Amino acid sequence: MTRRYVILGNGIAGQTCAEELRANDPDCSIVMIAAERHPLYNRVALPRYLRGQVREEKVLMRTVEDYQKRNLEIHFETWATSIDPAAKLVRTNRGQEFPYDALLVSTGGQPAPPPWPGASELPCIFGFQTLDDTNAIIAAADRSQRVLVMGGSFIAYELAEGIAHRGVKVTWLMRGPRFLRYVLDPEGGALCQQLGEEMGVEFILEDEAKRFAPSNGHFLVETEKGRKVEFDALCYGVGLQYYTQPLEGTEAELRKGIVTDSRLRTNLPDVYAAGDIAVFFDLMVGKHNQMGTWDNAMAHGKVVAHNMAGADEEYFDVPTYTTTMFGSTMAVMGVTPDVQPELESVRTFSYDEKFFRKLFFWEDRLVGAIMIGPPKGRKKLIEIMRSRVKITRPRDELLDPANLKESS
């Protein structure tokens, strides 16, 4: 009998899974449920699109015809409303029912609502997650004199840099002492601020929005410390709300996302999770972890496809994230203190030379790194992390890319 697979989500995790399943089984049934109206597009390219460095057509990665060629049945602007694990059935907002032999939940999430009083009532407020979000932000930024960016996350940074790159004035307000305060130390945060200010971004740190009001055809934010900033659009990044609703009411273990083992299996029979939504057992640190990176989601998709088809593969990889950083480069690899606070570290930095490197260790193994500036040695560091070998040489030697050619 033909196996029936249902995949919730057509991001890179769901798409990779579907195409891997099809490559290994030409006859199986594959149904994809996609909440957005677009075929697969490259979320990693959205910041470049916001900066005006790529065209929209270059962001799109698949066409409707591509799904037809691969015999993938996809339903756009559709989402699962409930899952019946006993009947092995998915129900959608359109009244459809899809039976499955194996189910993948890779639904990701959407920007959390703005937490500041009165912000949600503004007519010009934008999260940054989808292609449609990006088009709306571009249109708003290009008719604005100043854009207010709020939050201390990666998303907030990408907004601040992307909008500033379009030649629009940006004020970046965050309640913490620096960008990525749980990952970067004060010196790394100071270098990020230095690079941003050189690009014209105004930083307001350790402060919070108190109220919003109309002001002379614009809008005004007043902070808790009494700062007042006029702006025309507000863009924010304060994390995601993961779409776990279809599993609510079942016995699935939910912990912000969907909890899985190292094989991406949930505690429900034949139900798997992958990508941003998966709280998976991470072999790198021996505990559950949740990752929002593109390459992690893609690797999840391949492993979960094999396991849905009957394999027994554990997932292990070194997640990486590389982006521009106000004219420089920022690379984050592996595990960082936001995931495992007890990590040990070594670092080097220079404000004058505009570089920062910090390496993270767990039980004498190199497990993570963050770099601002030229990412020399990045690939070798990832190789060392993947090998899981114990580091016996002085750890600070690994900060110099010239030393990475030698054995660790």
Residue type, 250: T
Which has the closest alpha carbon to 129: 39, 52, 239?
239
- Give CA–CA dist 19/24, Å, rounded: 9
Nearest to 77 by CA among 92, 61, 60: 92
247 and 63 Cβ atoms separated by less than 8 Å = no
Q: What pLDDT was estimated at residue 241? A: 94
Output the pLDDT for position 237. 93
Cβ(396)–Cβ(346) under 8 Å?
Answer: yes
22 bridge partner residues: none
Q: What does DSSP assign to residue 348?
A: E
Question: What count of other Cβ atoms lies within 10 Å of the Cβ of residue 169?
Answer: 16
Query: What's the alpha-carbon Rg for the chain, to the nearest Å?
Result: 22
Domains and CATH numbers, the chain: 4-107+246-308 (3.50.50.60), 119-236 (3.50.50.60), 320-405 (3.30.390.30)
Query: What's the pTM value of the predicted model, to 2 decimals?
Result: 0.93
Edge-to-edge strands, sheet with 169-173: 125-126, 233-236, 146-150, 169-173, 202-204
Contacts within 8 Å (CB) and 24+ apart, 139-142 = 140/232, 140/233, 141/166, 141/168, 141/233, 142/166, 142/168
| Strand intervals (E) in 65-162 | 73-75, 80-84, 89-92, 97-99, 102-105, 109-111, 125-126, 146-150
- The DSSP letter of residue 41 is B
| Tokens linked to 117 | 């009083």
Tell me the per-residue pLDDT of 169-213, one tens digit each, with 9 for 90 and over. Answer: 999 999 999 999 988 999 999 999 999 999 999 999 999 999 999
Q: How far apart are CA 264 and CA 278, in angstroms?
A: 8
Q: Give kind and range of the element (H or E) at residue 382.
A: helix 378-387
Strands 125-126 and 233-236: parallel
Positive or negative, the CA dihedral 244, 71, 293, 134 is negative
**Angle at the Cα of 206 from the Cα atoms of 201 and 212, rounded to 5 degrees:** 75
Instruction: Supply the pLDDT for residue 408.
Output: 44
What is residue 268's predicted lDDT score, i.e. its pLDDT? 98
CA neighbours closer than 13 Å in the CB half-sphere of residue 139? 9
* Intervals of the chain under pLDDT 70: 1, 405-408
